[in-house]
Amino acid sequence: MANISKPWITYAKPFKIFGNLYFAGNTVASSHIIDTGDGLILIDSGYPQTLYLLIQSIWELGFKPCDVKYIIHSHGHYDHLGATKALVELTGAKTFIGFGDEDYANGKLDLTRARESEHEYHEAFEADCIMRDNDIITLGNTSIQVISTLGHTPGTMSFFFDVTDGKVTYRAGMHGGVGTGSMAKEFLERYGLSFACRNDFLKGLEKVRNQKVDIFIGNHAWNNDTFGKYKQMQEQKENPFIDSRAWEVFLDKSAANLQKVISEE
């Protein structure tokens, strides 16, 4: 994980991806906002150290922090849920975490990888809702299909939902976590975790392969070249985020990344 001792250097300009879907994260960890017409859904809150950047981004996008009604988490690592406790105290938002990661969020298990970013997880919270495979989360005009894709963590969840500009509707999708660090031999042995997570991860990739994804978003910018695509948006009429091929390419690369880690051990 990145060193975030200087969080201000991770600022990224927030922007509309398409229709009612927005990027509100930073250069280290991504956050996304869906404007449901009945309040905002926030996907991942980021680090506690970058909370003020997230709040600034919400304002810059033309919303208010109190508009956030749901906070859903891709998984239980520090860089995706670290700012949630403070944000809930500010907004009263309802929180969601995947089944298997609830004890990451509430601090009972020291597996948030805060140590790996040279920090301690002091922002524990009890999630309001535990997400399970094939759950549907609905707010306003948006229904999010939740699919369990464990491996990166036991409760990693992937999300699929429609986004619209009022004229055209596309299907957006995000895998809940593909970083190999939490599946590496050193990490698994350090915490006494099962190597079965690797097979679970590969099975999860295949499980969501046939999902229709017109707009692929990532919980890190490197997943989908967030900033490269944003730059392209400023230079051309076409929206580079609308790409039905990107999802399968990403899944293939994610599988290859883990296989590479395994082969080099």
pLDDT digits (tens, 9 = 90+) for 4-50: 889 999 999 999 999 999 999 999 999 999 999 999 999 999 999 99
> Does a structural domain hold residue 97?
yes
> Does a structural domain hold residue 3?
no
> Does a structural domain hold residue 2?
no
pLDDT digits (tens, 9 = 90+) for 167-221: 999 999 999 999 999 999 999 999 999 999 999 999 999 999 999 999 999 999 9
DSSP string, the chain: ----SSGGGG----EEEETTEEE---SSS--EEEE-SSSEEEE----GGGHHHHHHHHHHTT--GGGEEEEE-SSS-HHHHTTHHHHHHHH--EEEEETT-HHHHTTSS--SSTGGGT---------SEEE-TT-EEEETTEEEEEEE-TTSSTT-EEEEEEEE-SS-EEEEEE-S---SGGGSHHHHHHHT--THHHHHHHHHHHHTTTS--SEE--SSHHHHTHHHHHHHHHH-SS-TTB-TTHHHHHHHHHHHHHHHHHHH-
> Does a structural domain hold residue 100?
yes
> Does a structural domain hold residue 7?
no
Say what the pTM is. Answer: 0.97
pLDDT digits (tens, 9 = 90+) for 41-92: 999 999 999 999 999 999 999 999 999 999 999 999 999 999 999 999 999 9
> Does a structural domain hold residue 20?
yes
CATH number of 216's domain? 3.60.15.10
Domain total of the chain = 1
pLDDT digits (tens, 9 = 90+) for 128-161: 999 999 999 999 999 999 999 999 999 999 999 9
> Does a structural domain hold residue 250?
yes
> Does a structural domain hold residue 5?
no
Q: Which domain holds residue 130?
A: 12-264
